[in-house]
Every structure is written in C-alpha cells, then in structure tokens.
Amino acid sequence: MIYLGPGGTPHGVKGTKKSMAYLNKIGLNAMEVQFVRGVRMKDSTAKDIGDEAERNGIHLSVHAPYYINLNSDDEDVIEKSKERMINSARKAHLMGAKVIVVHAGYYGGKDSKEVTTIIGDGVLECEETISEEGLDVKIGLEQMGRVKSWGTLDEIEEVMKRTKITVPVLDFAHYHARYDGRLTGEKEFAGLLDRYEKIHPGPLHSHFSSIEYNDTGEREHLNLKDKEPDFQHLAPLLLEKDYDITIICETPELDRDSLRMKDILGL
C-alpha cells in the first residue's frame, strides 16, 4: 500500500481536523501533522483528529518540533528536546499516528561517533518513557540535508542498534542536497533504497520534494516541477516494493504536488 499526502494542512483548508475530509475528497490518503513550533494541541483535539482520519481513511504521522537538539551543550536544551519528543509521541498516540519524525540534533564541533552516542542516549531515554506509557508510536529519525546536522543513514543505523522503536525516515531531497545532487537517475534511487532496506526492511516512511542546495547542503524546498531530484525516476521503483510506503510531500505545493505524484505513480 502506498500512502500519499502533504506535510501540513492543505492549501485553503482551515485546521488539521478539516483536512481529513478534504484529503479524502481529492483522493489522498496520508498527512503529516506538523508540530514544528511546539506541541500545543489539546488531547481532545488529537482524539478528534484521529477519529476524523479513521473515518476518511487518512494515514497519519507527526513531525516533532524543529527545536530539538539532543547534542546541545546546554543540558536544559537537551531535557526540553526530550520533552518535545515525548509530548509529540503522546499526541501521535491519541490520534493514531504511528511515527513521529524527529530532527535529532547537530554536530556542534564534535565528531560523528561521539555525537551518535550522545544522541543515541537521548533517544533511548525517550524510548523508555514511550514504552512505559504504552504509546504505540515509533521514533522516526530523519535523514538530514545539511552537513552540520546529525542524521546520515549510517548514524541512524547505529542508534537503531541500541533501540527498539526507532526507524529511519528517508528524506529524498535531504539526501540529494547533502550529497551534492547525487540522485540523478533510477540507478541512484535504487541504490539508496537498497541501503535503506539493509537498515530497515520496511515499511518506508519518507519525504519528497525538490530542493535547492549548495556545498553546505539544503537551502530550501522547491516544487515537484523543478525535478531536483526527479520523482519520475523514483516512482517505478516504489511500485515494485512489497512493503507499505508513506510519501509525505514537502514542496510548497503540498496537496497539489501530492496529487501530481499520485498521477506519476498511476494510482
């Protein structure tokens, strides 16, 4: 099954709850609820969103706040980062979302191995709380697009070895930007999917957009028509997979480009 939809509220729709019926109406079946500036949603609202999603066949995920850095030199920042992750998981559980997507931190002048250990410690603490509270949610560590940001697939794999509910989130645009435009054709996309499957045999939670980048990595997300990278090269590979795939559109066009991806996939 392929789940496809926007990262955030679709254009012209007021509120997350109303998005569910709209997405169903236009033929999409996924949405990533954005907590990027903080987890301020009431429990009752999360439950209502979950009920609406179930009624309309919308597969939900959650994006945790951007203000997370498990490798900060400030212990207070680390504690607040863990709190934001756990609160995201609580709301996700109430709305039936199975993955919280996390930008885990930055290198801060330290080497990859040290930072991976530190971030792994923080993720493990969050996992313990999530498990103790019986939250049916995975921690999705996102593959990051800036060279100063922690989050290569190798680093994510090392954290997964220490944890039980951590999964990789494959952001194709971030990978493309971080590695100087590497995703140039079907062969390169296939290689990336093979690497992903060595870490995690599925399902796949992913983000897609085009992206502007320079030697420091990503700069800003672009629309699908910019073909940087080109979804046309990825689509046939996804159709061959026998595991569930979620594709969250992060272009400025959101639901419109989600529909364009659906058309390319022939769904």
- Tell me the domain boundaries of the chain: 2-265
Q: Calculate what percentage of the chain has a pLDDT beyond 90.
A: 98
From residue 57, how far is each of 51, 53, 148, 194 by CA, in Å? Answer: 10, 6, 38, 30
In this prediction, residues 160-178 reach a mean pLDDT of 97
Bridge partners (DSSP) listed for residue 149: 106
Nearest to 208 by CA among 77, 53, 30: 30
Question: What fold is seen in the domain 2-265?
Answer: TIM Barrel (3.20.20)
pTM of the model: 0.96
Q: What is the pLDDT of residue 36?
A: 83
Span 119-147, average pLDDT: 97
- Residue 174, C-beta contacts closer than 8 angstroms, at least 6 positions apart: 142, 143, 144, 145, 151, 207, 211, 217, 218
223-233: pLDDT as tens digits: 999 999 999 99
pLDDT at 265: 98
Percent of the chain exceeding pLDDT 70 equals 100
CA dihedral 67, 83, 5, 169 (to 10 degrees): 80
**Rounded distance, CA 140 to CA 61, Å?**
10
| Radius of gyration for the alpha carbons in the chain, expressed in angstroms and rounded | 17
Residue 46 CA to residue 92 CA, distance in Å, equals 8
Helix (H, G, I), strand (E, B) or coil at 54: helix
What average pLDDT does the segment 68-87 reach? 97
Longest dimension (CA), the chain: 49
User: Could you read off the pLDDT of 33-74 as tens digits, one per residue?
Assistant: 999 888 999 999 999 999 999 999 999 999 999 999 999 999
